[in-house]
Amino acid sequence: MPGKAAIRAEAARLQAQLAGAVGGAQAIEADILQPAETLLDLYGEDIRARAYVTADPVRGERMLRPDFTVPVVQMHMASGAEPARYTYAGEVFRRQESPEPGRPTEYMQVGLEVFDRADPAARDAEVFRAIAGALSPLRLKAAMGDIGLLAAAVSGLPLSEPRRAALMRHLWRPHRFKELLERFAGRRPAPPARRALLAEVAARGAPAVIDAAGPAIGRRSRAEIATRLAALAADAAEPPLPGRELALIDDLLTVRAAPPDALSRLHDLSVDMPALEPAVERLSARLEALDAAGVDLDAVTFEASYGRTTMEYYDGFVFGLVAERAGLPPVATGGRYDALTRQLGAGREIPAVGGVIRPALVLELGGGA
């Protein structure tokens, strides 16, 4: 394992190289201690399993930054001019709830983030080219994905709005997503107790059923329970999602091929799922931009579900660069996170794309200057 001083020097070299590759960028710093509330609101309770939490008697819970994205977005939203390109280098901290030998709990990250409203495809290509270019001596395998394809497919499913919203909420949780889809398709019939409950509610009315069950305690009100009961009744009356729609979603999620083949497969799929078309067009534009930027697409695999479980705040293009050697985490990852800027921006938003490199892995793999 290379020493910290060597890793720091490599980080500085990579940071300068990234800035050079995008024609100059502002180098920025971020606090190590971040307000826990912001991160919890974004990532949910799961972040506690991955980030160190520390209690500050005055400021409340703080987290040791698990990544730079949130502080960089906040900084940009508060004061940044547009368009903007930022680089940074510093430690991030990752808690592990079960022993994972060989996985560090703190390590250096070098990052590039681009905030620019113009030509998203070209910006995606710019970030990928900069990061892949800095790592080209390592001959890494590149994978790309795009969660926007799944979102587009869901937007076109013949479903009620509540059902669609439930799926959209769980794009990043494959287990729950699949269960919901199967339920909507009538493949998981409601248990008898649920059918009996809905019959009772229909006969006696929700208030009577709720009152008979127990006293109102806690902050979730009877009205909220009644609203959900009405939603359950409406859901039970909704016609099942046709099986062919399920099969199309499955087909989409299993697309895994060289980019040109993946693109033609997705074009075929969009004949049956017209809602997919805008997302396929965006992918097509991105691949053209990557090609124009000189990226060798033959060395890339496109996987429609790449990063679906591990890169939750990305909502479009995602990528990873991985060494052949087994057991190593990706040397670099990144993607587009427009929705995150919307959530952090309090009404404002700006398209954003970025990525990070782990300089320790670059040295370990024999790269570096």
By CB under 8 A, which span of 135-143, 162-170, 254-262, 338-346 interacts with another protein? 162-170
Select from 219, 325, 326, 348 the one that contacts another protein (CB under 8 A): 219
By CB under 8 A, which span of 6-14, 137-145, 209-217, 263-271 interacts with another protein? 209-217
54 binds another protein (CB under 8 A): no
Could you tell me the sign of the dihedral formed by the alpha carbons of 261, 267, 271, 273, in that order?
Answer: positive
By CB under 8 A, which span of 126-134, 153-161, 205-213, 247-255 interacts with another protein? 205-213
| Three-state DSSP state, 38 | helix
| Nearest partner of 17 among 115, 123, 108, 132, judged by Cα | 132
User: CB of 192: closest distance to another protein in angstroms?
Assistant: 12
In contact, 257 and 306? CB cutoff 8 Å: no
| Three-state DSSP state, 134 | helix
Give the largest CA-CA distance in the chain: 76
Which one, 215 or 294, has the nearer CB to another protein?
215
Element (H, E) at 62: strand 60-64
218 binds another protein (CB under 8 A): yes
Select from 68, 86, 88, 177 the one that contacts another protein (CB under 8 A): 177
By CB under 8 A, which span of 67-75, 91-99, 139-147, 260-268 interacts with another protein? 91-99
Q: How far apart are CA 185 and CA 157, in angstroms?
A: 11
50 binds another protein (CB under 8 A): no
Residue 345 CA, chain-centre distance (Å), reads 18
Select from 16, 22, 32, 40 the one that contacts another protein (CB under 8 A): 40
Residues 263-302 that bind another protein (CB under 8 A): none
Token pair of 122, please? 């070209």
Q: Please give the angle made by the CA atoms of 179, 277 and 347, to the nearest 5 degrees.
A: 75
213 binds another protein (CB under 8 A): yes
Place of tokens 């006293």: 215
Binding site for another protein (CB under 8 A): 40, 44-46, 48-49, 96-99, 166, 169-170, 173, 175-177, 179-180, 191, 193-194, 197, 209-211, 213-220, 222, 224-225, 227-229, 231-232
